[in-house]
Amino acid sequence: MTLGQLSAFVLVARLGSVTDAARAMGVSEPAVSQALAALRSHHGDKLIVRTGGGMTLTPGGSRLLPIASQMVALGADADAAVREANGMAERLQVAVTSTLAEFVANPLLEAFGVRSGLPVDASAGLARTAEMPVLLGSRLADAALGPQLDGGLDSTPIFRCSLVAVASPRARHRGSPAKWPWLVDPSGADPDSETAQLLNRLGVADPEISVFPNQTAAWSAAASGNGVSVAIEHLVAPQLRRGELTVVPVPGTPATMCWYLTTLPRDRLSSAAAALQHFLTTPAAMQVMRSPGAGVPPSRFRPPVYVTIWS
């Protein structure tokens, strides 16, 4: 029995599917299935089975889940303790939404490393909203940057911004926005994201939505006249100033939204996460979030135990 197998089991149980667990761990679905098979063989119990309503825990799986969650968290504690004893930098894993992963996360963590002066090995990776509480609760992430999260976690508002619709200045979109072609980044496929909720309020059907690998690609397609995109207003400001895009009047926009930093409760907070929490209240952090620079393609979230999944 390995931490990788236990992590796979916890994520499948909490997220409700092998596909979502594989995406959260940054591995293939067969890798997660193999880990579950090994754990089932070890315990002589199916632990979790597929039913018409999704994934259901067996009685043995229900007993194992809280213990497995504790063991995965203890594994993270053990890793941190050994790193500290060997004088290595403390690891800081931050789960972020696709837009933050593309524009804000890297420059923000770079500024944090410079300003904090702490020996911290910080990295960020893409995660869906529903995955974030599970990653935090299982100690596969130390912090999450994006929407407000529930579930006994500490969510602190750190930056207020506006969501707008943008398109080419040459394009003319008439009729109901529900019938327009919408061009979105991966957040548009996350049902809990502000983008998806906006499209849902407008009544936009799935066939009208095209999902691009990142926000920059979606904006480029919109600038070419292929449809309307969704953007954080201050992040798309350079394209607006250059006249590549213009704000399109859409019901419910501009929509005020807020970025939150979410962590475990203070009594379980790592020192690196606490330092990040403090940094995000400083003018230096505000400046980075306001003007982060050009976007970079987001990468998948890679929790520290992902390499053990094949064990």
Concatenated DSSP letters for 61-126? Answer: HHHHHHHHHHHHHHHHHHHHHHHHHTTPPEEEEEEE-HHHHHHTHHHHHHHHHHHH---EEEEEEE
Q: pTM, whole model, 2 decimals?
A: 0.81
CATH class of 3-86: mainly alpha
User: What is the pLDDT at residue 217?
Assistant: 92
Is-contact 124 106, C-beta < 8 A? yes
pLDDT of residue 242: 95
For the chain, the structural domain boundaries read: 3-86, 90-159+259-290, 160-257
CATH code for the part of the protein at 90-159+259-290: 3.40.190.10
Helix/strand/coil percentages in the chain, nearest 5 = 45, 20, 35
Q: Which residues contact 78 (CB under 8 A, 6 or more apart)?
A: none
For the chain, residues with pLDDT lower than 70 are 294-311
- Residue tagged 């926000």 (tokens): 215
Residue 305, burial from CB neighbour count under 10 angstroms (0-12, 13-18, 19+): buried
Distance set, CA 192 to CA 21, 69, 187, 195, 286 (Å): 17, 24, 9, 8, 25
Distance, CA of 289 to CA of 193 (rounded, Å): 19
In tens, the pLDDT along 82-119 reads 877 887 778 888 999 989 989 999 899 999 988 888 88
For the beta carbon of residue 307, count every other beta carbon within 10 angstroms. 12
So what's the architecture of 160-257 in CATH?
Answer: 3-Layer(aba) Sandwich (3.40)
Domains 3-86 and 160-257 in one fold:
no
Instruction: Determine the Cα–Cα distance for residues 215 and 189; give it in Å rounded to an integer.
Output: 12
- Cβ atoms of residues 96 and 131 within 8 Å: no
Both tokens of 143, joined, read 């912090």
Report the distance separating Cα 74 and Cα 80, nearest Å. Answer: 10
Side-chain-side CA neighbours of 305 within 13 Å: the count stands at: 31
Q: Note the pLDDT tens digit of each residue in 272-310.
A: 899 999 999 999 999 999 988 765 555 554 444 333 333
The confidence score (pLDDT) of residue 295 equals: 59
Smallest CA-to-CA distance from 236 within 225, 248, 251 is with: 248
